[in-house]
């Protein structure tokens, strides 16, 4: 296991999270599918990691009730249904070496569901999301994930054009809410699956 991933795993466990480590994404998916019962409803956060690994199709094909606004014709209705799902699955924008999950969001549905409203949460994290500390996590979000998401969403923000954040006042700003999860909560059980591959951005 990569040294940084070992440090992150130890820090996350110290912070009360349940952590599993995987060398390959396929093994991670196999384990996740085993852990999720067929009678559980599931919601997905907006996540390029989830899109890349094809988990939605795996769960849907085997019969789980699943909600993902990226796949729905009526995104608002899907978001509403997603609030009541038993299980929430997402990635994180950044994970610090001292075991904190750092995220920014435009709407806030994803970051809220990571710690509230569901019985269980799974966060899938590729090695590219590791950052030294909170400062580096914010820098990663503002200057890597933010601009790429702005381009993907085709919103009217400066970072879409420059690839860099200038803390804009655009109505389209995609990082309006910042959430740092310092410790596992007393609400949903947050499970973190670390993968030794680059996933999403």
- Compare residues 83 and 148 and give the one whose CB is closer to ligand SF4: 148
- Compare residues 154 and 167 and give the one whose CB is closer to ligand SF4: 167
Chain centroid to Cα 142, Å, comes to 16
Which positions touch ligand SF4 (CB under 6 A)? 142, 146, 150, 157-159, 165-168, 170, 173-175
How far is it, in rounded angstroms, from Cα 169 to Cα 51? 29
Query: How far, CA to CA in Å, does 183 sit from each of 12, 13, 92, 130?
Result: 8, 9, 14, 17
Report in angstroms how near the CB of residue 152 gets to ligand SF4 at its nearest: 12
Report in angstroms how near the CB of residue 176 gets to ligand SF4 at its nearest: 8
- Compare residues 29 and 173 and give the one whose CB is closer to ligand SF4: 173
Report in angstroms how near the CB of residue 149 gets to ligand SF4 at its nearest: 8
Report in angstroms how near the CB of residue 160 gets to ligand SF4 at its nearest: 7
- Compare residues 13 and 136 and give the one whose CB is closer to ligand SF4: 136
How far is it, in rounded angstroms, from Cα 152 to Cα 166? 18
- Write the DSSP symbol of residue 143: I
Query: How far, CA to CA in Å, does 33 sit from each of 52, 130, 139?
Result: 16, 24, 33
């Amino acid at each position: 296991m990569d040294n940084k991933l070992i440090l992150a795993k130890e820090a996350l466990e110290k912070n009360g999270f349940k952590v599993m480590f995987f060398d390959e994404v396929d093994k991670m998916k196999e384990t996740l599918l085993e852990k999720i019962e067929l009678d559980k409803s599931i919601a997905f956060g907006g996540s390029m990691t989830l899109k890349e690994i094809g988990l939605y199709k795996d769960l849907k094909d085997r019969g789980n009730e699943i909600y993902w606004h990226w796949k729905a014709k009526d995104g608002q209705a899907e978001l509403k249904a997603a609030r009541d799902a038993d299980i929430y699955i997402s990635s994180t924008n950044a994970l610090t070496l001292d075991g904190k999950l750092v995220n920014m969001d435009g709407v806030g549905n994803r970051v809220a569901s990571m710690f509230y409203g569901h019985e269980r949460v799974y966060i899938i994290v590729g090695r590219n999301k590791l950052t030294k500390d909170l400062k580096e996590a914010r820098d990663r979000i503002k200057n890597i994930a933010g601009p790429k998401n702005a381009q993907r969403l085709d919103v009217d923000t400066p970072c879409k054009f420059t690839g860099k954040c200038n803390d804009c006042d655009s109505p389209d700003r995609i990082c309006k809410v910042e959430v740092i999860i310092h410790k596992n909560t007393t609400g949903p059980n947050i499970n973190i699956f670390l993968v030794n591959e680059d996933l999403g951005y």
